[in-house]
Amino acid sequence: MEENTFLVLENFIGGKFVPCPAHVDSYDPSTGQVYCKVPDSGGEEVEAAVQAAKEAFPGWSARSPEQRAQVLNKLADLIEAHLEEFAQAESRDQGKTVTFARTVDIPRSAYNFRFFASSVLHHTTDCSQMDHTGCLNYTVRCPVGVAGLISPWNLPLYLLTWKIAPAIAVGNTVVAKPSEMTSVTAWMMCKLVQQAGVPPGVVNIVFGVGPRAGDALVGHPDVPLISFTGSTATARHITERSAPYCKKLSLELGGKNPALIFADADLDQCIQTTVRSSFSNQGEICLCTSRIYVEKSVYSTFLEKFVAATRKWKTGVPSDPGNNNGALISKEHLEKVRSFVALAKSEGATVHCGEGIDYPDLPERNIKGYFMAATVISGVSDSSSVMQEEIFGPVACVSPFDGEDQAVAKANGVRYGLAATVWSRDVGKVHRVARRLQAGLVWTNCWLVRDLNLPFGGMKNSGVGREGGRDSYHFFTEVKTVTIKH
């Protein structure tokens, strides 16, 4: 692509690409240059997409689960066949390394379709006999209708497909809005949706910003269900906007996830994994561990080794396979993440590596990119907003604790409750601590090991509802109890 020719995206409505009169700029985070024009859709485009989805619903929902599963599997095949071009596009659009997109984002996007194509075939419903009244009760599950899906910019295709797959597998039709900052792979997938034999109107993708396209979607009376992944602040707007319509909501929100490292942990394995859990994907994963609490007796050893390991976690041009991190999503986000480090310093904390100390070695064309080295801070008080707010960047705070009770109290001392990691060889302690942590997911001596059958989601301000094999099936269907007297 020449420097001055922009990629211009179009909405995908009713099985056709539809141009939009207005656009917003999308930047390549590794260069700081505009490279793509994304439709700035509003009420009119959303209305057209909802109508297309409504028209497609009777036919699609009437298909058998096996017939729908075949289409999902074909779509997974097509994504895999185009894996490399999707990985390159995801990296350029989001700033992440090509390696991460190639090994995590795109394979998982294909697997999401495969997983739900399979899982939808294996659900059973409930039945109860009431012999004393001569009645038999059973339940049936029906698709809800048009599902509104809003996905974030950190794992663009991965989290979009995690919503589309279960929604259409059970017979709904969808209107999806990806983040305006990372819309390219969703647009590329639209072409494959056609090839896979998804009927027109079953999957509609409307591009644009939250306050226009997103607002029109969540406030539409004919969209009974909204699945959203993103910030807690945006979720509040969605809840208020959809309340008059009594919509079904699934909200996967932020995290400020603790790692609890006990003195009896395997420190070598722990440090290797905790560097990954803190800084993977530039720290732009809602499951990243941003608060690391270490038992006092091993605190100084851990800190020294952790800083040394973090320094080896390389940040730079996303296409270089030697780099672990690429660029952050936007100039504004980079400034926000940096402001947290500046705040920590002003409060007397120590920055051991990263921001202000280590600078990525960048070629000329990437000098204006949004890069930031992995940063480790100690000496931050638990009440500081650096410890309380989601930073969503390559920043980890390390802090000592004394004993199990204090570890749990510190871990639970924020308004979020998405994930936690616990490092200890003591089986009893692991079970006790896991039980007391206010988190939807607790990993012990590992991180981000996922069985998609099991519930995914958070407590407190980290969200409402769960996603996963059975949970997504329940969310994207309505249950009906049928009683028959014989």
- Active-site residues, by number, are 252, 286
> What's the one-letter identity of residue 38?
V
Give CA–CA dist 379/461, Å, rounded: 26
- DSSP code, position 467: B
Give CA–CA dist 226/486, Å, rounded: 39
Q: Which two tokens stand for residue 436?
A: 């007391």
Which residues are 351's β-sheet partners?
Answer: 377
**Cβ–Cβ under 8 Å, residues 155 and 105:** yes
Q: Which two tokens stand for residue 368?
A: 């204006």
Angle between helices 83-94 and 106-119 (to 10 degrees): 120
**Cβ–Cβ under 8 Å, residues 320 and 363:** no
User: What is the sign of the dihedral through the CA atoms of 420, 426, 431 and 437?
Assistant: negative
Q: CA distances (Å), 209 to each of 7, 24, 96, 168, 333, in order?
A: 18, 8, 21, 24, 16
> What's the one-letter identity of residue 328?
L
Q: Is 91 helix (H, G, I), strand (E, B) or coil?
A: helix
- Non-local CB neighbours of 241 within 8 Å, separated by 6+ positions: 215, 218, 219
Q: Which two tokens stand for residue 428?
A: 């009893």
Integer-rounded Cα radius of gyration of the chain: 23
Please work out, in degrees rounded to the nearest 5, the angle formed at the alpha carbon of residue 472 by the alpha carbons of 237 and 39: 50
Least Cα distance to 476 among 141, 245, 119 occurs for 141
Burial of 482 per CB tally in 10 Å (0-12, 13-18, 19+): exposed
Give CA–CA dist 253/390, Å, rounded: 10
**Cβ–Cβ under 8 Å, residues 157 and 193:** no
**Cβ–Cβ under 8 Å, residues 170 and 147:** no
Within 13 Å of residue 118, how many CA atoms lie on the same side as its CB?
10
Which residues are 483's β-sheet partners?
Answer: 137
**Cβ–Cβ under 8 Å, residues 190 and 35:** no
Burial of 360 per CB tally in 10 Å (0-12, 13-18, 19+): middle
